[in-house]
């Protein structure tokens, strides 16, 4: 028996749940090997899994075959279920006695509306556990070889949402432009032109290096690099698709495109 299997058995507390409970689980940025051991154990014990568009096929393959899967996948502007309906669904599933896993891309509490779901569950007296995940910002950057806070270049990092309501984005641009700070924009593709224009207008050098990490940690990952002023052209020419992140700051100059992809040999995870 492998060390991981022993650990999982030791943590297996499968007992009937009286009122049902919900586990808000972070699925990480995509590569299934970036799941935590705890996430894997909890997923394997689920009766029902309510999942998002961002959960990768590799992670979905780890769900127990008998678990009911409910896709509440959201892509920008196109919601399968409203947030209110998702909250309601989670409450109902739990109160009917199910062991519910709410599986979300990255970390459930980073731009994932996991906080709202937790509050709603608590309001209805449903026990809610949270299993953190590797958020796309740190996971995709690290896996691409971009050290977000290399101390020669950055003393802080900001995770920022580029999600807008009615085409408007309301950000503290002045606060975002600060020496020694790396910016990571989630959901920033649509607004990339505004992001570049506003940052430059508020004093960021047009030559600041930036990277677009498209489908980070997935087999289709692409890393596109350029400077802040080149952002609109980069997007027009390369047409990155969702999910993508923008990383802006001097640390991006440390990025080196991999010449040969070599990986440590690994045993494949099996369900």
> Which residues are at the interface with ligand SAH (CB under 6 A)?
29-30, 54, 104-107, 110-112, 135-136, 140, 186-187, 213, 215-218, 242-245
Q: Clarify whether 52 is annotated catalytic.
A: yes
The Cα-based distances of 82 to 74, 85, 113 in angstroms read 9, 5, 12
Q: What's the closest the beta carbon of residue 134 comes to ligand SAH, in angstroms? A: 8
Residue 138 CA neighbour count, 13 Å, CB half: 13
Which of 34/48 has CB closer to ligand SAH? Answer: 34
Q: Find the length of the chain.
A: 271
Contact 119, 113 (CB under 8 A): no
Looking at beta carbons, which residue is closest to ligand SAH? 106
Given the complex with ligand SAH, which of 17 and 222 has the nearer CB atom? 222
Q: How far apart are CA 148 and CA 15, in angstroms?
A: 42
**Shortest distance (Å) from residue 5 CB to ligand SAH:** 28
State in angstroms the smallest separation of the CB of 245 from ligand SAH.
Answer: 4
Active-site annotation holder among 52, 87, 104, 107: 52
User: Judged by CB, which is closer to ligand SAH: 20, or 27?
Assistant: 27
- In the bound state with ligand SAH, the residue whose beta carbon lies nearer, of 99 and 104, is 104
For 83, counting Cβ atoms within 10 Å of its Cβ (0-12 exposed, 13-18 middle, 19+ buried), the class is: middle
Rounded least distance, CB 35 to ligand SAH, Å: 13
Residue 84 annotated among the catalytic residues of the structure:
no
Shortest Cβ distance from residue 139 to ligand SAH (Å)? 7
Of the pair 20, 240, the CB lying nearest ligand SAH is at 240
- Pick the closer one to ligand SAH by CB: 106 or 226: 106
Q: Least CB distance from residue 246 to ligand SAH, whole Å? A: 8
Strands 127-131 and 156-161: unpaired
The catalytic site residues sit at 52, 74
């Amino acid at each position: 028996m492998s060390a991981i299997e022993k650990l999982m058995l030791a943590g297996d507390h499968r007992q009937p749940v009286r009122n049902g409970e919900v586990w808000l689980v972070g699925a990480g940025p995509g590569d299934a090997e970036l799941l935590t051991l705890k996430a894997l154990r909890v997923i394997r014990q689920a009766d029902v899994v309510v999942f998002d568009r961002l959960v990768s096929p590799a992670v979905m393959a780890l769900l127990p075959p008998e678990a009911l899967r409910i896709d509440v996948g959201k892509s920008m502007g196109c919601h399968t279920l409203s947030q209110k309906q998702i909250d309601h669904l989670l409450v109902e599933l739990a109160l009917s006695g199910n062991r519910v896993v709410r599986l979300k891309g990255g970390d459930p509490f980073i731009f994932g509306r996991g906080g709202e779901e937790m509050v709603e569950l608590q309001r209805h007296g449903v026990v809610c556990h949270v299993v953190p995940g590797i958020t796309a910002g740190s996971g995709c950057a690290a896996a691409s070889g971009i050290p977000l806070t290399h101390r020669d270049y950055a003393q802080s990092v900001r995770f920022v949402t580029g999600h807008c309501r009615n085409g408007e984005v309301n950000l503290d641009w002045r606060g975002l432009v600060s020496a020694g700070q790396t910016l990571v924009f989630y959901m920033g593709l649509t607004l990339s032109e505004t992001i570049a224009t506003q940052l430059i207008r508020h004093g960021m050098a047009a030559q600041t290096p930036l990277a677009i990490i498209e489908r980070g940690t997935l087999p289709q990952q692409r890393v596109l690099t350029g400077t802040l002023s080149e952002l609109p052209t980069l997007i027009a020419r390369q047409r990155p698709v969702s999910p993508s992140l923008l990383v802006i700051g001097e640390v991006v100059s440390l990025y080196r495109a991999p010449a040969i992809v070599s990986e440590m040999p690994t045993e494949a995870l099996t369900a």
